[in-house]
A and B are shown apart, each in its own frame.
Chain A
């Protein structure tokens, strides 16, 4: 089965990074990274807590972490359901590592 990476985003208006008063460099870069990761043949999905709360609910480990550490723990990245990174978005090298170590 194809490897699936999910990124659980913190609350924000819009995850593209180009909405709002200042374009968000981190988010624009992330979009670029994700496209590169997809070329490795893995699925990458992103969910925003204020738009897809159901998806958060479906992963009990993610909910538990928010219960313990509040929203500062977001973004959370999972690889096939397992949490692999919290508090910031992974770099391309990190994504590669998650996929290879699986």
Chain B
């Protein structure tokens, strides 16, 4: 029998790991030798299995055929570096060797290393089932896109259309890797061997994301796809107007999803407790694979729910200390970053904050770097690459960094220069070389630097992409500055252009490190994965000298709606994690309650702004 692969994707905190882990336990209980791997640095796989796992294949306690591994990107990168450079270790002088190691700290290496491991795991004949509890959507898709892109690059480079050079080495040396990438793609495209499962909650934004993800995979000719809708409220738990209104909304979304998608869809209820421990996992796994309802056989309910009003004590107290952190100090622009896992409400909080600063009289630009951002939907107007005034406002502009468009512009800029200097043949070769995955990152990064150095706004609010991507983007000024410095150790030397670039990067680095100019904030809801990821990201940002100054706890259950045992259990879990947040983050925290409606439209966003920061 050939190995079966399951890929779980979806925004962070939708229960991806629970679904993946319970599937793993279920398959193992069916006498299948099963391996579950997470590539998500914020994974709580160890929590779920209640044992230490780490960066190695580990037997799950008490099981005979269930194994798990938490792929640590830092360790994978270190291993990759060691493997690459070991032939020279004792041959060349220590000083030179250090420069080589430093060079391999370049942004490309981490990606290459992660990718290398990923394709390795796609050929594990010793397992019957391999489950990838993957990193969040954007990153996952990018990783999956890589085999296709690299393979193409290598093929062309081998024919020497690009002078035999590729971003990842001379074509000849890569022939072996190409075979590996091709096998990886073939396995992912084989519907009898691979299933992609997208996990989402019955809410409006994840639907767009699921749609995008399905389309992206189809573009890569990956057709075996399924959806799990997780976190559906049990009807019995909705015995008050607030919960009934939320239940009615979920049912409406189910109807919407039913009409929108043709792939198989499984429905899973929100569990009152955390899913951990093998017994509960097996129970959930059985539910998922044998008992759960399929949306195709389910008629979503139509309920006319009366709108409950929240009580005054449902709103958190306003902390006056927060205000100065949102507005300019010493006549310098204030830059506010909102980061966190996908699905924590970053975009809504960023938009509410931008509306708030605009209303306080500051000329504000709200900028999203998230390719999956729904800024246009929540403002109900088009948001493009250029700052656009928000309808009915006179202080608030919005813009988005569109990676695809930025890449086109970036390529065109380089090619326009090239056309002036070179013949057609050479320009074609350069164009070919520019079709590497690095180009998109470089192009997005250039746009980020452009916006980050703008002087024509008083407040700049960044709605950032899910954490991994954002950290990379923010670290790039530091990383590239170092790469330029490496030139001084070689005969190439720094050019005048390099010096200008470095000074631009330095401006951005200085700005990000200064708490009087920059407020770095993490948005999360009080559950394990979002907290873990934010805490990790906070540590990583500190290594480039960027402190975290604000924490936003979102979707807090209002006290007045806790009317039954199910909700009591949920509230108890929430309290435990709020305490955990308090312990892990020293920055001041603000809270936003769970609301009946999604934050769509300016009025609701303004309300949210008042709940966070006061009038």
Q: B-contacting residues of A (Cβ < 8 Å)? A: 10-23, 26, 28, 31-32, 34-35, 45-54, 56-57, 63, 66-67, 70-75, 87-88
Question: A21 contacts B501, CB within 8 Å?
Answer: yes
Nearest residue in A to B429 (C-beta to C-beta)? A31
Nearest A residue to B168 by beta-carbon distance? Answer: A51
Taking CB as reference atom, which chain A residue is nearest B481?
Answer: A21
Residues of B within 8 A of A20 (CB): 442, 480, 483
B96 touches A71 (CB 8 A): yes
Of B91, B104, B422, B480, which one neighbours A63 at CB under 8 angstroms?
A: B91
**8 Å CB interface, B401-446 against A:** 414, 417-418, 422, 425-426, 429-430, 433-434, 436, 438-439, 442, 446
Chain B residues touching A, range: 35 or more
Selecting from B203-211, B485-493, B551-559, B586-594, the interface stretch reads B485-493
Binds A, one of B80-88, B236-244, B254-262, B297-305: B80-88
Contact with A along B98-140 (1 / 0, CB 8 A): 0110011011100000000000000000000000000000000
Complex contact B169–A18 (CB within 8 A): no
Contacting residue for B167 out of A14, A31, A47, CB 8 A: A14
Contacts of A67 in B (CB 8 A): 91-93
| Given A53-B88, A72-B491: A22 in contact with B429 (beta carbons within 8 A) | no
Of the A-B pairs whose beta carbons lie under 8 Å apart in the complex, a sample of 13, sorted by A's number, is: A12-B490, A13-B438, A14-B167, A17-B433, A20-B480, A21-B446, A21-B501, A28-B426, A50-B103, A51-B173, A63-B92, A70-B95, A72-B490
For residue B498, CB closer than 8 A to chain A, the reply is yes
Task: List, in ascending order, chain A residues with CB within 8 A of B434's CB.
Answer: 18
Q: How close is A67's CB to chain B, nearest CB, in angstroms? A: 6
B165 and A11 contacting across the interface, CB-CB below 8 Å: no
Q: Which residues of B contact A88 (CB under 8 A)?
A: 491
* Candidates A13, A52, A54, A63; contact of B106 at CB < 8 Å: A13
Query: In the complex, which residues of chain B have a beta carbon less than 8 angstroms from the beta carbon of A70?
Result: 93, 95-96, 489
A72 to B432, CA, bound (A): 30
List A contacts of B497 (CB < 8 A): 22
Known: A21-B484, A26-B492, A63-B92. A12 touches B165 (CB 8 A): no
Please determine whether B164 and A49 come into contact, CB atoms closer than 8 angstroms.
Answer: no
Contact of A71 among B91, B169, B490 (CB under 8 A): B490
Q: B170, A11: Cβ atoms under 8 Å?
A: no
Q: Check: B495 CB closer than 8 A to any chain A CB.
A: yes
